Amino acid sequence: MGVSVALSATEPSPFTSRGVPGALGVMVSVIVALLAGPLAGVVVALVGGLAFAILVADTELGGFVAAGVWALSALLSGMIADRFRAAGRERDVAHAAERHARQAAESESQRLSNLQALTARLATASTVPEVGDALVDSVTSALGATAAGIARLSADGREFVTIVARGFAPGLIERWSRFPVDTPVILADALSRRSVVTVSDAAEALERYPMLATLGPEYPLGAQAAAPLLAGETILGVIGINFDRARRFTPEDEALLLAIGRQCGQAIERARLFEAERRGRERALRLRELASALAAASTPGEIADIASDRVYPLLGGRTGIVGAVSMDGEAIELVSEEGFGSEGAESIERIPLSSGRPEAEVVRTDGPLFLGSPEAMRSRYPDVGQPEGGDQAWAGVPLRASGGTIGVLSVSYAEAQTFEDREIGELETVADQLALALERSMLQRSRDEAVRLEARVERVKAVSEAMNPKLGVYEVATAILAEAAEALGAAAGGLGTVTADGRNFEFMSTVGVVEGTAARVPVETRGPNTDAFRTGKVVRIEHAEDWRREYPKGSPLLGADAEAVLGVPISAAGRRIGAIGLRFDRERSFSPDELRFVGALAEEAGEALERARLFEAEQRALKRAARLQDVTARLSRAVTTEDAARAILRAATGGGGGEAAAIALADDEGRSLRVIPGQMSRGTLRLRPPFDLPVTDHGALAHVYRSGRAQWVESEAAWTDRFAEDLETLRVLGTCMYAVPIVARGEPIGALAVFFGEGSPEPSSQDAELIRSFAQQAGVALERARTYEVEHEAAVTLQRNLMPEHLAPEPRVEVVSRYLPATRGVHVGGDWYDLVDRPDGAVALAVGDIAGHGLPAAAAMGQVRSAWRALALSSSDPAAILGSLDRFAAGVEGAFFSTILTMLFDPSTNELRYASAGHPPALVIDADRTSHLLEGGRSVPLGLTFDLPRPQALEVLMPGAVLVLYTDGLIERRDESLDEGLRRLGDAGVRVAGAPLAEVADALLGLVAEDRHDDVALLAVGPKLPAEVFRRIFPADAEQLAAMRSELRAWLDRSGLSPETKEDVVLACTEAAANAIEHAYIGRDGDIRVVGESENGWLKIEVSDDGRWRDPRPDDSRGRGLDLVRTLIGDIDVERGERGTTVRMRVGVT
Partner 1 sequence: MTGRELATFEFEPRERATVVRIRGEVDLSNAERLHDELSSRVGEAPWLVLDLSGCDYLDSAGLSVIVMIHARSRARGVRLRIVVPTSAATVDRVLAITGMDGVLQVDRSIDEALALVDAAG
Contact residues toward partner 1 (CB under 8 A) are 682, 1037-1043, 1045, 1059-1060, 1063-1064, 1066-1067, 1070-1071, 1074, 1077-1078, 1117-1118, 1120-1121, 1123-1124, 1127-1128
Asked if 396 and 364 touch (Cβ cutoff 8 Å), the reply is no
At CA 689, angle to CA 687 and CA 691, rounded to 5?
Answer: 125
Kindly state the smallest distance separating residue 661's Cβ from partner 1, in Å.
19
Kindly state the smallest distance separating residue 1090's Cβ from partner 1, in Å.
14
Torsion of CA 795, 801, 807, 808, to 10 degrees: 170
For the beta carbon of residue 145, count every other beta carbon within 10 angstroms. Answer: 24
Asked if 706 and 693 touch (Cβ cutoff 8 Å), the reply is no
Order of all β-strands in the sheet with 575-584: 520-522, 504-511, 492-498, 575-584, 564-572, 539-541
> Which residue's CB is nearer to partner 1, number 559 or number 1119?
1119
Order of all β-strands in the sheet with 197-199: 178-180, 159-166, 147-153, 234-242, 224-231, 197-199
Which among 276, 262, 278, 255 is positioned nearest to 131, based on CA atoms? 262
Kindly state the smallest distance separating residue 1062's Cβ from partner 1, in Å.
11
Torsion of CA 34, 36, 37, 38, to 10 degrees: -80
Give the helix/strand (H/E) hosting 33.
helix 20-36
Kindly state the smallest distance separating residue 921's Cβ from partner 1, in Å.
36
Kindly state the smallest distance separating residue 1116's Cβ from partner 1, in Å.
9
Asked if 690 and 676 touch (Cβ cutoff 8 Å), the reply is yes
Which among 267, 280, 335, 245 is positioned nearest to 126, based on CA atoms? 267
- What is the DSSP pairing of strand 711-713 with strand 564-572? unpaired
Which among 138, 92, 94, 100 is positioned nearest to 116, based on CA atoms? 138
At CA 445, angle to CA 443 and CA 446, rounded to 5?
Answer: 65
Q: Where are the beta strands (DSSP E) in 467-594?
A: 492-498, 504-511, 520-522, 539-541, 564-572, 575-584
> Which residue's CB is nearer to partner 1, number 367 or number 1059?
1059
- What is the DSSP pairing of strand 393-401 with strand 369-371? antiparallel
> Which residue's CB is nearer to partner 1, number 167 or number 1086?
1086
At CA 768, angle to CA 765 and CA 773, rounded to 5?
Answer: 125
Asked if 50 and 6 touch (Cβ cutoff 8 Å), the reply is no
> Which residue's CB is nearer to partner 1, number 860 or number 1129?
1129
Asked if 418 and 395 touch (Cβ cutoff 8 Å), the reply is no
- Residues near 1043 by Cβ (< 8 Å), separated by ≥ 6? 1034
Kindly state the smallest distance separating residue 834's Cβ from partner 1, in Å.
33
Kindly state the smallest distance separating residue 525's Cβ from partner 1, in Å.
34
> Which residue's CB is nearer to partner 1, number 622 or number 1038?
1038
> Which residue's CB is nearer to partner 1, number 1107 or number 1121?
1121
> Which residue's CB is nearer to partner 1, number 984 or number 1045?
1045
> Which residue's CB is nearer to partner 1, number 15 or number 474?
474
In the three-class reduction of DSSP (H, G, I as helix; E, B as strand; rest coil), residue 318 is classed as coil
**CA–CA gap between residue 702 and residue 741 (Å, rounded):** 9
Kindly state the smallest distance separating residue 688's Cβ from partner 1, in Å.
11
> Which residue's CB is nearer to partner 1, number 664 or number 680?
680
> Which residue's CB is nearer to partner 1, number 292 or number 681?
681
Kindly state the smallest distance separating residue 1125's Cβ from partner 1, in Å.
9
> Which residue's CB is nearer to partner 1, number 426 or number 1078?
1078
Asked if 482 and 511 touch (Cβ cutoff 8 Å), the reply is yes
Kindly state the smallest distance separating residue 1069's Cβ from partner 1, in Å.
10
Q: What are phi and psi of 610, to 5 degrees?
A: -60, -45
> Which residue's CB is nearer to partner 1, number 343 or number 1060?
1060
For the beta carbon of residue 25, count every other beta carbon within 10 angstroms. Answer: 33
> Which residue's CB is nearer to partner 1, number 273 or number 732?
732
At CA 627, angle to CA 622 and CA 629, rounded to 5?
Answer: 95
Asked if 1056 and 997 touch (Cβ cutoff 8 Å), the reply is yes
Kindly state the smallest distance separating residue 1088's Cβ from partner 1, in Å.
12
> Which residue's CB is nearer to partner 1, number 205 or number 1129?
1129
Which among 985, 939, 991 is positioned nearest to 966, based on CA atoms? 985
Kindly state the smallest distance separating residue 1067's Cβ from partner 1, in Å.
6
**CA–CA gap between residue 614 and residue 1070 (Å, rounded):** 63
Kindly state the smallest distance separating residue 452's Cβ from partner 1, in Å.
36
Which among 91, 74, 87, 88 is positioned nearest to 38, based on CA atoms? 74
- What Rg value do the Cα atoms of the chain yield, rounded? 73
> Which residue's CB is nearer to partner 1, number 61 or number 1042?
1042
Kindly state the smallest distance separating residue 1043's Cβ from partner 1, in Å.
7
> Which residue's CB is nearer to partner 1, number 896 or number 1034?
1034
| DSSP 8-state class, residue 87 | H
**CA–CA gap between residue 4 and residue 1135 (Å, rounded):** 203
Kindly state the smallest distance separating residue 1035's Cβ from partner 1, in Å.
12
What's the full length of the chain, in residues? 1150
Query: Measured in Å, how far apart are the chain's first and last C-alpha atoms?
Result: 200
Identify the sign of the CA torsion 911, 914, 919, 920: positive
> Which residue's CB is nearer to partner 1, number 943 or number 1121?
1121
Kindly state the smallest distance separating residue 684's Cβ from partner 1, in Å.
10
**CA–CA gap between residue 776 and residue 774 (Å, rounded):** 5
> Which residue's CB is nearer to partner 1, number 309 or number 1037?
1037
Kindly state the smallest distance separating residue 682's Cβ from partner 1, in Å.
8
Kindly state the smallest distance separating residue 1123's Cβ from partner 1, in Å.
8
